[in-house]
Chain A
Amino acid sequence: MSARAVSAGFKQQAVQFFADPQWIIPSLISPFLLSMVMIFLSSGGTSIEGPVVLQAVLGGGVLGMWANSLFSSSTSVSFDRINGTFEPMLGSGTRIIYVLIGRSLWSTLIGLLNAFIVFAIAEVMFGAGLNVQNPLLFFLALLMAMLSLSSVGLLISTLFVLTRKGGTISSVLEYPIYVMSGALVPISMLPAWMQPASLALAPTWGVDAIKYSALEGYGGMLGMSLITDVLMCVALSIVFIFSAYVVMLYVERKVLIDGTATRY
């Protein structure tokens, strides 16, 4: 593990963000709108409070984190191609995966900010009242969920090295996680054949942990305990990160052998 490469990837992503911070806005819009749709759908045009609003806002926060993670992973390598920095990066002695891990860590940080912005807007505009049951546990669960989303994003960004269509393909991946993570709609609503795929995603467990820490009297996804959520989320995130590492080794080698860094 090259800590310097990870740190450099993190720093580079941070500098790019501060050079043009408005890029956080596109990944905020859709999740926020979806939260509001759920609130209005539930309210039937009258004012509502309580667990439905909290669930909608929490769900929106998770969707915001995913949108940010997806956007970052799809643009991570695409921007290198556009800026002409992909080939020098390939030619350097550092494995690209470490640079991508550094960038993902920055995305994790911004994803958390993204979630808090969704919470804040909901509070200011609609008085959503984000009274979570256990604030410290909630923050830790949120951090864990964000890291799990970043692990999925990391795996996706390694695959985007192979294509220049990352931006287009990434739009396909937005809603499946919205559906399968259980962020807004519980996974018990999904058809039986889809539930195993949902349970194989680390963020699904992270989302359940968030609900445990925030919603009073929450019974857990399919009767699972908070400890199970944490263990599964961490274990599956490690599996995703390891898979990303293995895939990236293959992709990097293939690109170098074929000499097709910028042409596919």
Chain B
Amino acid sequence: MTGTLRIIATSAKSDFISKFTIVHPATRMLVIMCTNLFSMYFFFLLASYVGNPDVSPEYVIIGNVVQSVSTSTLYSATNISGTEKHTGTLEPILSSPSRLFFIFFGKSLFSISTGFVSVSVSLFYAAFLFGVDFSSANIGAIALICVLTCLSLAGMGLAIGSIGIYLRTSAILANLFGYIGLLICGVNFPVSYLPGWLQTFSYGMPLTYAVEATRSAVGGSALTMMAEPLLVMTLLGAIYLTAAWFIFGFFEKISRNRGSLDSF
């Protein structure tokens, strides 16, 4: 257990150091602030322009607050394997005696922390720039939802990213899953607008439940009222994390048996 924790801690530490060496924390913060501002403003304008009576600009802004976690956490957790492959560090990682899953789990902690920062910035914009009314909101519930969303999406990102080990790059998967929430998770319009076959995918995404719970919390609902979406989201996150464990193990085994390392 101690050994496992040490692997996770070391991996997280090295990832934080490398990320902050390449891009200074202040620059990284500026990037998050600008990206979130313009993306939220874009959807705010779009909702205002389209003028759908069911979808107010406020509705879209709350959705995009939660989507900002996906853009940060899910995107970067999915892209971990691709980044390691691109920089040539996946081979040494695969050669080390540590389990791949724990190393990547440690690296995902950076994605989780970026998600916290990103959603905090977005909440600030929602309240002070886009005029979302938080006066009756359940702030404690919103905080809990943010934490659970970051963790669940990191689990999902690791599961998808584990497949990226087999691929030449995980950038396509990262782009697809990091942004698909805009369309299928109820971020910008109700999930019921989508065709039935697409709604099936929506309910397999933790983000869908996070958006639903956040809207309830902003409306002032008690935590018990949003227990169901939160439980489903957490359960999905745990399922994805378990899947990641098995997929990482599978590719680790193939890689070592064949001696092919990161070339499949």
**Chain A residues in contact with chain B, CB under 8 A?**
20, 22-23, 25-26, 29-30, 33-34, 36-38, 40-45, 82, 164-165, 168-169, 171-172, 174-176, 178-179, 184-186, 189-190
8 residue pairs of the A-B complex, CB under 8 angstroms, read: A44-B52, A45-B192, A45-B193, A82-B86, A172-B31, A175-B41, A178-B42, A179-B42
Q: Are B54 and A25 in contact (CB under 8 A)?
A: no
Given contact pairs A41-B188, A185-B46, A29 touches B183 in the complex (Cβ within 8 A): no
B45 at the interface (CB under 8 A from A): yes
B47 at the interface (CB under 8 A from A): yes
**Chain B residues in contact with chain A, CB under 8 A?**
22-23, 27-28, 30-31, 34-35, 38-39, 41-43, 45-50, 52, 54-55, 86, 168-169, 171-172, 174-176, 179-180, 182-183, 188-190, 192-194
Given contact pairs A22-B169, A168-B23, A29 touches B50 in the complex (Cβ within 8 A): no
Q: Are A40 and B42 in contact (CB under 8 A)?
A: no
**Distance in Å: Cβ of B75 to nearest Cβ of chain A:** 10
Q: How far is the CA of A38 from the CA of B47 in the complex (A)?
A: 8
**Distance in Å: Cβ of A221 to nearest Cβ of chain B:** 14
Q: How far is the CA of A189 from the CA of B43 in the complex (A)?
A: 12
Q: How far is the CA of A189 from the CA of B46 in the complex (A)?
A: 9
Among A33, A36, A176, A189, the residue within 8 A (CB) of B45 is A189
Q: How far is the CA of A38 from the CA of B35 in the complex (A)?
A: 20
Q: Are B52 and A42 in contact (CB under 8 A)?
A: yes
Q: How far is the CA of A169 from the CA of B193 in the complex (A)?
A: 35
Add 11 more A-B contacts to A41-B188, A45-B193, A165-B23 (CB < 8 A): A29-B180, A33-B180, A40-B189, A40-B193, A45-B189, A165-B22, A165-B27, A169-B31, A172-B31, A185-B49, A189-B49
Q: How far is the CA of A21 from the CA of B48 in the complex (A)?
A: 37
**Distance in Å: Cβ of A110 to nearest Cβ of chain B:** 16
Q: Are A33 and B183 in contact (CB under 8 A)?
A: yes
Closest to B41 in A: A179
Q: Which residues from chain A contact B189 at a C-beta distance below 8 Å?
A: 37, 40-41, 45
